[in-house]
Structure 1
Amino acid sequence: MKNNEKRVALLMGLSLFMEMLDSTIVTTALPQIKNSLHITSANASLIISLYMIAVAIFIPLSGWLAKRYGNKTIWLFAIIIFTISSIGSGLASNFILMLSMRLLQGFSGALMVPIARLIVLENTPPQNLLKMISYVIWPALIAPAIAPFIGGILTTYWSWRLIFMINVPIGMILFIIGNTILQHESEHENKNATFDWIGFSLISLASASLLIALDIISSNKALNISSIILLLVFISSSIVTVKYLMNTKVPLFSMRTLRFSSYKVSQFGGSIMWLTVGAIPYLSTIFFQNAFHWSAIKTGSFVLFIFVGNIAIKPVANSIIQRIGFKNTILCSLFLIFITTLMIGTLTEQMNQIYILAILTFSGIGRSLALTAYNGMSLVEIPYDERNSANTLGAVSQNLSQEIGVSLVTISFSILNQYQPELDAYRLTYFLLGIVIIAPIVEIIIQPQSIGVVKQTN
């Protein structure tokens, strides 16, 4: 295996880390941002919502831009815009400027993340894919787990503006190294690639309507006419989008990659996993702060142990998958996630803190191992010329899943808390999140033992 392959994969992983850290750390600083900019809580939530919507809308654009102008060019462009918009967010003196910068951050993040994955996918032979994908995935797993801790430190002892400014040195390092080691590969370019405006509009409409509907529901703690209409728009536009992408001659991205069982299973099960990647650290953060009345720093220190679990399993994750196969690895890790999710919901403030840390660590182990297996399995059957479409579709589902996860636990707790005490509402939300894991467990059980090994040994 060439050393350059590893360097590129780690570099792309660092860009995913920067984007995911930025998208999750802001939650910790919202109270301080609200006070500093003199805005309401509803307006403050727009700082997160607008970013999420921008990412969802512009991700489908990444695949076409990569074809038209090249992976390296668009990735470097996205790094520059993300860094500049981070500076703008950190220096924002009013609400309008903040929203403008967050919109620009969302746009650049939507290009940076899928193209980072695409750079790795298009330059990695099948036999090395599992290892290279693991290099890309682990930084993305780290970010949501350490965000509460870093956010708590920065907002407690310094300023909320630093949560954006930390992107500046990372962005500069990424640009300098990326410009040096990345090759401009013209064979992947197609200067005459036409842009599918209809497909882009339909996907944008479906993504935006879903996220806005969930945001309205979580804010109002109930369904209303606006959210119902938006959910109907989401359902109808999703149906039209799938039919359109399957039947049009030159779609924004092809749905034909779903004909491969390993990719199809990875999309469904992997989406559930990405849902938990955002949901569990977020829910645990507000659970410990509100139910246990822990400080932001103590909460962040405990949630950090999800990251400890992520890292602890990484050195042996590939060996486990190679020894027992994708199916058994995924099945074991899903059961571990299911059990630990339920156990976190049973925690009390009086419990031994070592016990709490152990549960959070094992939760991280399960999530890390499952995502490594899902992502490693997803593309083993996909031909090189279809990896762009597979990557774009995967990026869309991954991004929506993470955002849906945070929205769903917020909605669940808000509704349950109207009928149950706060502590019970949190416990039931963890229970519901655990129930969600049953779906991919059933799916992987019915798969053949050989799933994912078709081209892994070639």
Structure 2
Amino acid sequence: MTTPTPSRWLPLLMAISIFMQMLDATILNTALPTIAADLGVSPLNMQSAVISYALTVALLIPASGYLADRFGTKKTFIIALVVFMLGSLLCAVSTNLPMLVGARIIQGMGGAIIMPVPRLAILKVYEKERLITAINYAVTPALIGPILGPLVGGYLVQYASWHWIFLINIPFGILGILFAIPIMPDVYGKITRFDTGGFLLIAGMATGLTLALEIAPHGEPVAAALLFLLALAGGIAYLRHTRRCDYPLFPISLILVRTFRIGLAGNLVSRLGIGAMPFLLPLFYQLALSYDASSAGWMMVPTVVGTIIAKPFTKAVIARYGYRRITITNTQLLGLMMMAVALPPPGTPAWVWVVLLFITGFGNSLQFTAMNTLAIADLRPDQNSAGNSLLAVNQQLATGFGIAIGALLLKTLSLPAVSHGDLYIAFRYTFAAVGLITFTSSAVFARLHSQDGERLLEGNSHPGK
């Protein structure tokens, strides 16, 4: 089959899809207290609406390439947009929390596909010398979305209604379809067998662990323990499955690569704390500090600004100090900064949190770049695709687990605090706990050798978040 001539507007299509994904991933957190009040539930029980989306995206990422190869990039992308818009509409008309969670799962089914498929199309139809320019242009919205998400969410909730944080996706989805029809090349790939058994085992493992964290604070320790054991059994079963399967979803050979194994584990553990913060902070501002939704949205901006400003310096800093020293020291500093959020007493000026969160965002940028590039440093070319896919799944799962752990800690610690009418103390202890989780994850990176990652620093790597 002849490779289609690439449209110069294809990166714009990828930019729209990334913007939709990033906006949707960040717009909800600021609106959680308002949605909770409308649905008649506690804001401390709203984490399932966030986790369900992250978990669905994580589990379906490995299927995106298979679907695009089998059904073509154009049809797969357009159908994914339709599913995403349908999920958004169902979210907007939800009248209770279970309905909202179900709608978020449908939304996540589309969201998992709309970002990787345009990227796959660009990789297949663009010449190598044009790839970097095209990808860099397309990923710019990834930096804008996290800034606009909390702000747009806050203002829509305060001056319109929470339903619009989901309805706003529909015009973007329609725009994406209108662009996709003439622009998106309908590229097919070599169809390989999909590891359905491995997929189901991983999905069961991740779902079981998430549910265990969800029900633990509701007085169901036996059920939570059983779910945890089932998740553990699913993980063991998957390892055995990979030895028998000729086309495993994630080959066991990946975790035999030492730097990949350490990078993957460090990614997971450190993001348990980091991933909890975007969920906890809007609740903290609105429930403990009595900020309105738009002000809470503005208070989320410093972290993202710090992340963006750090981007140009990350490679030079890593080259100066090396991967081992950076990942250990920066992880510890990040943990300390997250714990420092718990220190200011009530009535502290807002600029104190602005400074703390800006520094945290700067550290996040350095951390993500170091962890992600280190993980793929020693993979063979034939391992790159599966390795990158597993890394992406790991990041999404870690974010979901981080939110679940943050919510678990907050609900557990808020029980005595609520009786005294003081959620502020519960949040302080929760920030200290998630910061400690991130701090202790530096022990994972201590297993690195001082020369690990040097090959990347000699070349021209283009690390991402």
Q: Same fold (TM over 0.5)?
A: yes
What corresponds to 1:443 in structure 2?
444
Q: Distance in 2 between matches of 1:130 and 1:239?
A: 39
Using the TM superposition, give the Cα deviation of residue 256 of structure 1 relative to its aligned residue in structure 2, in angstroms. Answer: 1.9
Q: Distance in 2 between matches of 1:348 and 1:26?
A: 27
Using the TM superposition, give the Cα deviation of residue 402 of structure 1 relative to its aligned residue in structure 2, in angstroms. Answer: 0.5
What corresponds to 1:409 in structure 2?
406
What corresponds to 1:62 in structure 2?
64
Letter in 2 for 1:442: A
Letter in 2 for 1:447: L
What corresponds to 1:284 in structure 2?
281
Using the TM superposition, give the Cα deviation of residue 166 of structure 1 relative to its aligned residue in structure 2, in angstroms. Answer: 2.3
Which one of 345, 353, 362 corresponds to residue 348 of structure 1? 345
Show the 5 A alignment for 1:42-441: 47-48=49-50, 50-69=52-71, 74-90=76-92, 101-113=103-115, 115=117, 143=145, 147-175=149-177, 186=188, 189-191=189-191, 193-218=192-217, 220=218, 222-419=219-416, 422-441=423-442
SS in 1 for 2:362: helix
Sort the Cα spacing of 1:115 and 1:377 in 2 relative to 1 into closer, same or farther, 3 A: farther
Taking structure 2 as the reference length, the TM-score comes to 0.81
Sort the Cα spacing of 1:413 and 1:98 in 2 relative to 1 into closer, same or farther, 3 A: closer
Q: Distance in 2 between matches of 1:336 and 1:135?
A: 32
Sort the Cα spacing of 1:302 and 1:29 in 2 relative to 1 into closer, same or farther, 3 A: closer
How many residues in Structure 1 have an aligned counterpart in Structure 2? 449
Q: RMSD in angstroms over aligned alpha carbons? A: 3.8
Using the TM superposition, give the Cα deviation of residue 155 of structure 1 relative to its aligned residue in structure 2, in angstroms. Answer: 0.7
Q: Distance in 2 between matches of 1:318 and 1:128?
A: 22
Using the TM superposition, give the Cα deviation of residue 58 of structure 1 relative to its aligned residue in structure 2, in angstroms. Answer: 3.0
Using the TM superposition, give the Cα deviation of residue 358 of structure 1 relative to its aligned residue in structure 2, in angstroms. Answer: 0.9
SS in 2 for 1:418: helix
Using the TM superposition, give the Cα deviation of residue 70 of structure 1 relative to its aligned residue in structure 2, in angstroms. Answer: 5.1
Q: Is the 8 A contact 1:138 1:311 kept in 2?
A: no
- Kindly provide the CA deviation profile for residues 346-394 of structure 1, in whole angstroms up to 9, marking residues without a partner as x: 1223334333211110011101121122223333433443333113312
- Kindly provide the CA deviation profile for residues 33-88 of structure 1, in whole angstroms up to 9, marking residues without a partner as x: 4565x665599765445434433443343343244345565344423421343244
Using the TM superposition, give the Cα deviation of residue 100 of structure 1 relative to its aligned residue in structure 2, in angstroms. Answer: 5.2
Q: Is the 8 A contact 2:329 2:442 kept in 1?
A: no
Letter in 1 for 2:383: E
Letter in 1 for 2:346: E
Q: Is the 8 A contact 1:60 1:252 kept in 2?
A: yes
Letter in 2 for 1:157: Y
- Kindly provide the CA deviation profile for residues 212-258 of structure 1, in whole angstroms up to 9, marking residues without a partner as x: 2222224x2x4433222212211111221123124422212323222
Q: Percent identity?
A: 27
Using the TM superposition, give the Cα deviation of residue 404 of structure 1 relative to its aligned residue in structure 2, in angstroms. Answer: 0.8
Q: Is the 8 A contact 2:147 2:304 kept in 1?
A: yes
Q: Is the 8 A contact 1:206 1:238 kept in 2?
A: yes
Letter in 2 for 1:198: G
Q: Is the 8 A contact 1:307 1:364 kept in 2?
A: yes
Q: Distance in 1 between matches of 2:126 and 2:369?
A: 16
Sort the Cα spacing of 1:284 and 1:26 in 2 relative to 1 into closer, same or farther, 3 A: closer
Using the TM superposition, give the Cα deviation of residue 409 of structure 1 relative to its aligned residue in structure 2, in angstroms. Answer: 1.1
Taking structure 1 as the reference length, the TM-score comes to 0.82
- Kindly provide the CA deviation profile for residues 386-433 of structure 1, in whole angstroms up to 9, marking residues without a partner as x: 333113312221111101111111111221233456333222222221
Gaps of at least 5 residues in structure 2 are 1-5, 460-465
Q: Distance in 2 between matches of 1:100 and 1:362?
A: 36
- Kindly provide the CA deviation profile for residues 231-288 of structure 1, in whole angstroms up to 9, marking residues without a partner as x: 2211111221123124422212323222333322221222234434431122222222
SS in 2 for 1:159: coil
- Kindly provide the CA deviation profile for residues 320-365 of structure 1, in whole angstroms up to 9, marking residues without a partner as x: 3344443444344323312211111112233343332111100111
Letter in 1 for 2:369: T
What corresponds to 2:463 in structure 1?
none
Sort the Cα spacing of 1:34 and 1:406 in 2 relative to 1 into closer, same or farther, 3 A: closer
Gaps of at least 5 residues in structure 1 are none
SS in 1 for 2:299: helix
Using the TM superposition, give the Cα deviation of residue 158 of structure 1 relative to its aligned residue in structure 2, in angstroms. Answer: 0.8
Q: Distance in 2 between matches of 1:262 and 1:120?
A: 29
Q: Is the 8 A contact 1:133 1:375 kept in 2?
A: no
